[in-house]
């Protein structure tokens, strides 16, 4: 259960680029999958080429890339959630993408190398 008090920390990623990435999702969704250093920038590139940046299209290309890479879609989706919000759970991932906007999403997904130097 979240309250208005939680908003300044839990909602920070929606309004600023200096948000905290929680240790649990970092370990579970990022550090466990080092190939995300390649896969998430690939996804960012696909997002940059979309005519329409909406829930349906972002979900479609995310799932298509997962199929092409022969991985479970959840690896990309949960990795995106952690990179984009710093959290393990929250609103629907594709709602988050649209809310954050194409430019912010692409910027955050392009270079995640720095996350692999963190201690969990």
Long-range contacts, stretch 55-58, CB < 8 angstroms, 24+ apart: 55/92, 55/94, 55/95, 55/97, 55/98, 56/94, 58/94, 58/97, 58/98
The tens digit of pLDDT for each residue in 55-77 reads: 999 999 999 999 999 999 999 99
User: What pLDDT is attached to residue 1?
Assistant: 42
Domain containing residue 33: 4-117
User: What pLDDT is attached to residue 7?
Assistant: 55
**pTM for this prediction:** 0.84
Distances (CA, A) of 35 to 5, 44, 103: 36, 14, 23
Q: Which two tokens stand for residue 27?
A: 């370990």
* CATH number of the domain where residue 12 is located: 1.10.10.350
Phi, psi of 90 (to 5 degrees): 165, -160
Residues of the chain with pLDDT under 70: 1-19, 118-120
DSSP per-residue codes, 2-31: --HHHHHHHTGGGT-S--PPPHHHIIIIII
What domain count does the chain have? Answer: 1
102 Cβ contact partners less than 8 Å away, ≥ 6 residues apart = 47, 48, 50, 53
């Amino acid at each position: 259960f979240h309250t208005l008090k939680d908003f300044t920390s839990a909602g920070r990623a929606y309004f600023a680029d200096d948000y905290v990435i929680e240790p649990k999702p970092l370990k579970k969704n990022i550090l466990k999958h080092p190939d995300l250093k390649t896969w998430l920038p690939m996804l960012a590139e696909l997002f940059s080429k979309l005519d329409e940046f909406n829930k349906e299209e972002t979900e479609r290309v995310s799932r298509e890339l997962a199929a092409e890479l022969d991985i479970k879609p959840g690896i990309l989706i949960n990795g995106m959630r952690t990179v984009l919000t710093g959290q393990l759970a929250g609103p629907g991932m594709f709602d988050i993408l649209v809310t954050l906007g194409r430019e912010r999403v692409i910027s955050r997904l392009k270079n995640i190398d720095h996350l692999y130097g963190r201690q969990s």
